[in-house]
A and B are shown apart, each in its own frame.
Chain A
Amino acid sequence: MNNSIALKSILTKEIQRFTRIWVQTLVPPAITISLYFVIFGSLIGSRIGEMGGFDYMSFIVPGLIMMSVITNSYSNVASSFFSAKWQRNVEEMLVAPVPNWVIVAGYVGGGMCRGILVGLIVTFVSLLFVDIQLHNIWVIIATVTLTSATFALGGLINAIFAGSFDDISIIPTFILTPLTYLGGVFYSISLLPEFWQGVSQINPIVYMVNAFRYGFLGISDVSLVTAFAVIGFFIVTLFTIAMVLISKGIGLRS
């Protein structure tokens, strides 16, 4: 059995899905991010002054790109996999000799593609508002790739457990969005009181946003090694959980 063909099939199907409904998947992040730039960057940002040695608009650009990558990689897999469960076309894969890791890799790959594509769109939109600096392109590529994989895995696990469409919006609304807003997108955590700086250390998004910002601006509130270690830990943990759930057939087989 040629697993690479099976993987390519799942990946192609996933990419076809989000590009077929591009008005729902690719346009909204561009509009949302433009509003962030206008409101937080131009209107409010001009009164804030510098942050971390850079003007506020330049400071928030990496965080806003990362925010789009996170939400889009997560929601792509959550909604696509749950829809496949709901319409029962997930059975097409379950009855076929597709190894579980291929199913996980295919869906996660699809989520990563959408996350990274939206990240690129947002980057192009941000060029309309600010000149983007590049400090280390490899750190940027590594961070965006690993972060999108982490949240695509999270979206997959959410979809496996979800029993209704409401269940795939609960985690993004009540956990993902607060963690993102408190993850240093709009501020440096060094501005927080010591206690809240400590609390922020348990928020994984802080490490992702800061590593990404380092790639653009060369500044970070956390060390790069710690950031990649944290991201690596989440990827391994979430991948293991996803594999166990699918092999046991939780939410998929009766």
Chain B
Amino acid sequence: MTYALEISALEKTYKGGFQALKGIDLTVKKGDFFALLGPNGAGKSTSIGVITSLVNKTGGQVKVFGYDIDTDLEKAKSFIGLVPQEFNFSQFEPLVNILVNQAGYYGVSKSVAIQRAEKYLKQLELWDKRDEPARALSGGMKRRLMIARALMHEPQMLILDEPTAGVDIELRRSMWDFLRELNQQGITIILTTHYLEEAEMLCRNIAIIDGGEIVEDTSMKKLLAQLDVETFVFDIKVGATLSELEHFSKQSPEIAYRVVDDHTLEVDLNKSQNLNQVFAQLNAGDIEVQSMRNKSNRLEALFVSLINNKKSDSKAKQQTVAVGAK
């Protein structure tokens, strides 16, 4: 099977000796919507830099749609569209020129490039600004311009490095719809983001990188299934008193209730329990619920626990080495 991306034993050590990637292995299937998550400095952008040839690797292999970047770099590059983390277009050029020139670098003729520029600028709601210099755009518009630019050669794989950073929620949601649509058209999408909700909503598969190593590489479903306990917050309709709520919570020991205040109740549910049981008990206790939500993003909880586990592992290793050295 040819993958959209195959990375094996990828290493990158910078000049100062900092090892950003410690031999990572990763595969992304064709047509996937893939999340690459990790804390700051974990190696996400370095990985993307190596894939797109902006960073020279120091070891390992990268293949894009079967083409090795060591032997078929130009072919491999032609499959990729990159939306980098930082704005990297000329601030003085009009939007149309930026897009048409970018298409030209991929061998797309000017007449075709002009048609595509119109299509993507309209889809991303930038058409009115087409003749303005890029510096005149707002932050959100600049992010959308970079998406349009990455699509000009109609790539088969789109890599987005924190595309919605600093973008307001309304715009973020419209960008999610746009990305979903692209993925439905068959474009493989690799996304790095700090908004874990974004990864959970969009991506089917996920890898978590920390300290230059992959700490998790699985499907979103399997990852979320690792959650043992999920916390829900119930907003209680005014009426119940604090003492009534506390009395209720003590009456039902099989479900872990916590009273936060006289109109907020938190519930920890494990895998064997379900919300029906909770609602049944609340009904029986004559407690009326106004609304309900997850206490935190589910993926966020897992992400934090995976990163923390890794930190404890490496601490333990260091201690073992130190003891051995003594």
Contact = CB atoms under 8 A, between A and B. Distances in A.
Nearest to B75: A97
Contact of B101 (A1, A12, A97, A249): A12
A141 B107 CA distance: 31
A249 to B, nearest CB: 6
Interface string A1-12: 111011011101
Interface in B8-58: 14, 49, 52-56
Interface residues of B, number: 37
Contacts, number: 88
B105 A98 contact: yes
A5 B86 contact: no
Given A5-B108, A6-B105, A89 B56 contact: no
A87 B106 CA distance: 21
A94 B74 contact: no
Majority-rule SS of A interface residues: helix
A183 B240 CA distance: 95
B89 interface: yes
B101 A95 contact: no
B92 interface: yes
A92 interface: yes
A5 B107 contact: yes
B89 A89 contact: yes
Contact of A97 (B90, B106, B109): B106
Given A92-B102, A254-B56, 10 more contacts: A1-B74, A87-B91, A93-B105, A94-B53, A94-B54, A95-B53, A95-B77, A253-B53, A254-B14, A254-B54
A8 to B, nearest CB: 7
Given A93-B105, A95-B77, A97-B75, A20 B92 contact: yes
A88 B89 CA distance: 7
A197 B149 CA distance: 56
5 contacts: A89-B89, A92-B89, A96-B105, A96-B153, A254-B14
B92 A97 contact: no
Q: Which 6 A-B pairs have the closest CB atoms?
A: A9-B104, A96-B105, A2-B107, A97-B74, A88-B88, A97-B77
B151 interface: no
A13 interface: yes
Contacts of B106: 1, 6, 96-97
Contacts of A99: 74
B62 interface: no
A111 to B, nearest CB: 17
A197 to B, nearest CB: 46
B89 A253 contact: no
Interface in A77-94: 83-84, 87-89, 91-94
